[in-house]
Amino acid sequence: MLLTKNSDPDHIRPLATREFDQIRRLAYDTFGLDLKDGKQELVSARLRRLVLASGLRNYHDYYRHVVEDRTGAALASMIDALTTNHTSFLREPDHFRFLKDQVVPKLVNRKWIDIWCAACSTGEEVWTLLFLLDDAFPGVKVHVEASDISNRALHTARAAIYAAESVRGLPPRWHQKYLERGSGKEDGCYTVPPAWRSRVEFHRINLVEPFSWTRPFPIVFCRNVMIYFDRATQQKVVAGLFASLEPGGYLFVGHAESLTGVRHDFEYIRPAIYRKPLRGKP
């Protein structure tokens, strides 16, 4: 749709309370995002570009445009605009130390290790997990299923191109084995070579909708996403994560998150780490 000559930021009516309520209800119903009171200015700023790009004059018309778009593209763009994709390599390092020291030894006899990174964002967590597990299990096939709801974040994760400062803190042997310097337009960056990218499969998954895997995982990382959900949505997501783990499997959530107040059958291990009980145990 072409922009009208008056379609500039000054001609878009401010986001009204009723329009904010429409948008936050849509966000909650479709992907569980709980936009609290006080987020009106944030929503307005993040969606303003999409209102302009659609050639619209106000947020109510934009809301109708998203709802009536049968392709789902407008909703996907709204999700990309409203979700936060902040991550980094080796973020919350206590988790990776625990993974290496406490979980890896229990998997030593496996010929295949398949794990799920359930909110992979732009991919730094995915590659951290792949590098750590491959480094711990030379000769063992390590595969990562990675998912996110944001198409924009998944595009970056698949490309696996990162600025030099992003990978500066990684172990030197990881640089030598798993990364290569970019060239051309990627000069000054580092990339994950195709041989390692083939160990990861990316999916667009909405955690508040039904999902299932053909096999359970020994490890699931789902960090720093449930802080955006209310208690009822957390309940639903945690149940899905529990079902995706094998007995004895570990769930890692963000350090700012907790399952306190959420009904679940996990065993508490330590802050932000939970374990699915072995068969026969309560």
Our answer to whether residue 168 is catalytic in this structure is no
109 phi/psi in degrees, rounded to 5 = -90, 5
Phi-psi region of 257 (alpha: psi -120 to 50; beta: other; left: phi over 0): beta
As a whole number of angstroms, the distance between CA 86 and CA 150 comes to 12
Q: Of the listed 24, 80, 148, 197, which one is catalytic?
A: 148
Give the Cα-Cα-Cα angle 127, 128, 130 (nearest 5 degrees): 60
211 SS3 class: coil
Instruction: Tell me the DSSP string of 124-180.
Output: HHHHHHHHHHHHHSTTSEEEEEEEES-HHHHHHHHHTEEEHHHHTTS-HHHHHHH-E
Our answer to whether residue 265 is catalytic in this structure is no
Q: Of the listed 34, 46, 135, 152, which one is catalytic?
A: 46
- Which residues are known catalytic residues? 46, 148
